[in-house]
A and B are shown apart, each in its own frame.
Chain A
Amino acid sequence: MSDNKTTNKSEWPLWEVFIRSKAGLDHKHAGSLHAADFEMAIENARDVYTRRMEGVSIWVVESNNIHASDPGQSESMYDPASDKIYRHPTFYNLPDEVKYM
């Protein structure tokens, strides 16, 4: 994959872009882009991901600083939660007369 001359020679690092679409909402992953530093990453994110007023705030994180869970471990990670339905309010049967609960 890296046998040609220009690969990664001068490629800018990859950044992940997170955008808050309006005040009060969480930042959400929008995509990624390349930039030399964080300032350029924010400026590029503005041009690439907010051309139609999609955001009021931008976060950028260098991609190699993101650590993710392993999809191969999904069963042991998430399945134990599926047999604990008593964590949900609908598990409890209450008489209809009970209001506001």
Chain B
Amino acid sequence: MTQFSFQQHFDDKIDRDETIEPKDWMPDDYRKTLIRQISQHAHSEIVGMLPEGNWISRAPTLRRKAVLLAKVQDEAGHGLYLYSAAETLGISRDEMYDQLHSGKAKYSSIFNYPTLTWADMGAVGWLVDGAAIMNQVPLCRTSYGPYARAMVRVCKEESFHQRQGFEIMLNLSKGSEIQRKMAQDAFNRWWWPSLMMFGPPDAESPNTENSVRWRIKRLTNDELRQKFVDVTVEQAKILGLTIPDKDLKWNEERGHFDFGAIDWAEFKNVVKGNGPCNKQRLETRKKAWEEGQWVRDAATAHASKRKSRKENEAKAA
């Protein structure tokens, strides 16, 4: 096959909505885009454990503690599914870790905000996981097979994450005046960063066009953001919380909620590394990796010792 026919074959498969598998021919840009997106997604799961890990020892009840532990463990698992999917594209795990630790690779900038009170565990589960699910559900049908299969698993597990968060908010909103205020305060702080999670507006999103053409993305940033606003506004009503946006209004004509301007300067600033917790998150992550080095080395040494002992025994026999 010529380069042209490889490309044609790939395009035809995409058009027929067939999946691309690791050993199939794919354009370099498709591979690069996927490596960037999947590894970024994996890094987000791993760094995403940190703001919550902060609250495991301070959860108000044993039930909440068990739930939070299970959620954080899921996130570790989701990171691992995604790293494996990215590895099928020819990048090594260590290389991805290096990119994260050196700051070359990004993770979702939502995790650069602090979790100040217990209500933040509610808001993170409800809003951040809610936005993540909104992003991830269409990715279950993304064109790259290993990514799609990882996302099916992630989505299946993640719905409890959002529900437990909403439950925390529900309890607080039905609680004392102080608890209700705490819930509103967390909502105020997480609302806008959650909207930013869908990425820059379509007009300024350099990767959207190709990603949609290749069916890596099935919906654009703005479409997903609108969907999120529409469902979340209704959920906030159940909690009796006020959306911190004075421009929020139902638009009869569009059949959607209109919402105020997002502060993209803030978003860019956090992505650049100047958010409230960027430094802390990366340092915690690097420390965990470095301090685990002796464990990895010991396991490798143990495995190779055992292997050679077995070989010697076989020889002697």
A1-B95 contact in complex given A31-B81, A47-B77, A71-B23, C-beta closer than 8 Å: yes
Majority DSSP secondary structure for residues of A touching B: loop
List residues of B (72-113) whose CB comes within 8 Å of A's CBs. 73-74, 77, 80-81, 84, 87, 90-95, 97-98
Provide the bound-state CA to CA distance between A37 and B310, in Å.
13
On whether the beta carbons of A8 and B94 are closer than 8 Å, the reply is yes
Q: Which residues of B contact A36 (CB under 8 A)?
A: 296, 299-300, 302-303
For residue A31, which residues in chain B have a CB less than 8 angstroms away from its CB?
A: 81, 84, 149-150, 153
- A residues less than 8 Å from B23 (CB atoms): 68, 70-71
Q: Which residues of A contact B157 (CB under 8 A)?
A: 51-52
Interface with B: A10-18, A77-85, A90-98, which one? A10-18
B21 to chain A, nearest CB (A): 7
Closest residue of chain A to B77 (Cβ to Cβ) is: A48
Q: Does B28 interact with chain A (Cβ within 8 Å)? A: no
Q: Does A27 contact B (CB under 8 A)?
A: no
Whether A6 contacts B93 by the Cβ 8 Å rule is no
Q: Are B150 and A7 in contact (CB under 8 A)?
A: no
- Give A14 to B297 CA distance when docked, in angstroms: 16
Q: Are B98 and A32 in contact (CB under 8 A)?
A: no
Q: Are B300 and A32 in contact (CB under 8 A)?
A: no
A9-B94 in contact given A31-B81, A32-B87 (Cβ < 8 Å): yes
- Cα(A25)–Cα(B29), bound, Å: 40
Q: How many residues of A contact B (CB 8 A)?
A: 26
Q: Are B92 and A12 in contact (CB under 8 A)?
A: no
A10, B296: Cβ atoms closer than 8 Å: yes
The answer on a CB contact under 8 Å between A51 and B73 is yes
Shortest distance in angstroms between B311's beta carbon and chain A's nearest beta carbon? Answer: 14
- Any B CB within 8 A of the CB of A20: no
Partner of B299, one of A12, A47, A48: A12
Knowing A51-B73, A71-B23, the reply to whether A10 touches B80 (Cβ < 8 A) is no
**Any A CB within 8 A of the CB of B177:** no
- Contact residue among A1, A10, A51 (Cβ-Cβ distance under 8 Å from B300): A10
Report the separation of the CA atoms of residues A14 and B80 in the bound assembly, to the nearest whole angstrom. 12
Judging by beta carbons under 8 Å apart, are B306 and A11 in contact? no
Q: Which residues A29-84 have CB closer than 8 A to chain B?
A: 31-34, 36-37, 40, 47-48, 51-52, 68, 70-72
B152 CB to nearest A CB, Å: 11
Q: What separation, in Å, do the CA atoms of A48 and B83 have in the docked complex?
A: 12
Give the distance in Å from the alpha carbon of A40 to the alpha carbon of B304 in the complex: 13
Chain B, Cβ-Cβ closest to A17: B84
B291 contacts A by Cβ under 8 Å: no
Q: Which residues of B contact A10 (CB under 8 A)?
A: 94, 293, 296-297, 300
- Chain B, range 297-317, C-beta contacts under 8 Å to A: 297, 299-300, 302-303, 306-307
Contact between chains at A33 and B80 (CB < 8 Å): yes
The 7 closest A-B pairs by CB, nearest first: A36-B299, A37-B303, A36-B303, A32-B84, A11-B94, A7-B94, A71-B23
Binding site for B on A (CB under 8 A): 1-2, 4, 6-12, 14, 31-34, 36-37, 40, 47-48, 51-52, 68, 70-72
Chain B interfacial positions (CB closer than 8 Å to A)? 1, 21, 23-25, 70, 73-74, 77, 80-81, 84, 87, 90-95, 97-98, 149-150, 153, 157, 293, 296-297, 299-300, 302-303, 306-307
Further pairs besides A4-B98, A6-B97: 13, Cβ < 8 Å: A2-B95, A4-B95, A7-B92, A7-B95, A8-B92, A10-B293, A32-B84, A32-B87, A33-B84, A37-B299, A47-B77, A51-B70, A51-B73
